[in-house]
Structure 1
Amino acid sequence: GVTKSEKLRQVSRVSQVLAVETSSPWPLAPREVILGAVAWDDIDHCGDVAIHLKGLHTDNDEMGVEIPPPQGGSVRVDFDGGFLFQKCPEDHPALDREKREKSSTENKGEDREQILLVSFLMYVDSKMKLLPVRVINFVVRTVIGRMWEKFLSVAEDVKDGKRPHHKEAIEAKRECLYNWVDERIDAMFKRLENSGSGSTAEESLSESLDTSEHYREYVGYLQC
């Protein structure tokens, strides 16, 4: 499982460098990855939000951060992947019949449940040459699955008021970050509500998000 998760630097409002370490079955050494995380949105045009996660190494300075060498006998792995958040298609197989019928009916004054599709794609070289590929894939999927479950569990606890320290941390960054997050979430749901009308939000994309051609291509890369 995950034994350490540490933020090395907050590069910008939606960009940071993280160090994550996981334990490995004996006799393998622990694995670690230094992640450069960059988020951007294309809400105003396509309704998408994406997060690019790229493994960084000691000789990599593309995010302006000095990357330390592996510590304590850990082996640094290669990683490239990301998340894509978008409106869930009404015919998605993960939706049960009731939700699908509800989402396909006309809104007659009642609130419709907005359902987002979260896609995650990753390429990992775990540096475990002695193990069969099937074992490596199982270990990687298990670790990622548990990380995602933990993330959702913490998010639900924060929502239900069960984690006061998290609430305090959120309020401490309310003006510089979370008010902006709330604004962009509101814009996303408005975009979803009007997705059939062809309307777009009036505000331009935030300058803090990198909307270069590289990242637009990356959205397509996640959708492949």
Structure 2
Amino acid sequence: MRVALFDEVLAQLATGWRPDYGTPLLALRPVPGDRRAARSATRAAACALAACWAGSPKADYLRPGRRPRIAAGPMHFHVSLAYGNNGNNGSSEHTGGDREGCALIALCPADDHGIAALGIDLCAIGLLPDWDAVAGLYLPPAERQALHEATPSRRAEAFAQAWSRLEAGSKAAGIDLVEWHDGIAASFAGLRTSGLDMPPAFADHWAAMLACAPG
């Protein structure tokens, strides 16, 4: 599934284009490296996309529970956001500093679009010094084994894909990121998880995953 830049997506929406049924809207945009500023800018960007989709002059970012939503006129949208920093080698949750980063947005109508919940995540392609210990705590056994069997040149990308898959699934399932146990696999049952094709300038540096619960 292809990710386009925010300005391109917003321009497409303005022409009347909408994603197909069962497919969320995906957009990537640069953001400030400061985490608080990045959150504010990305929520505003997500609201702009939802407002354009709904034909509404404004939209509001809501946090009614574990899964955020956006209200735009009469429409409500599922939304998931992910942040990355150019200096980050690992989970987007460990981003920091003041370097410019990027953010991913996924959203879709909450009603009559075939998606009950969604989650998105991106992870820098680069191994943490303690990647083996992190994988041992958080990743399922099959993915831990695959990482150990991967060639050194492939391992960094494989870790980024596994980690972003884990984070995206956790968001879609509405659960916290915790040490792996069998209950997590049960929570992920039924989710559709897809790797995302990033824009060319970002593809060599980031792995990104989308998880959707049909409904």
TM norm structure 1: 0.30
Which structure carries more helix by proportion? 2
TM norm structure 2: 0.31
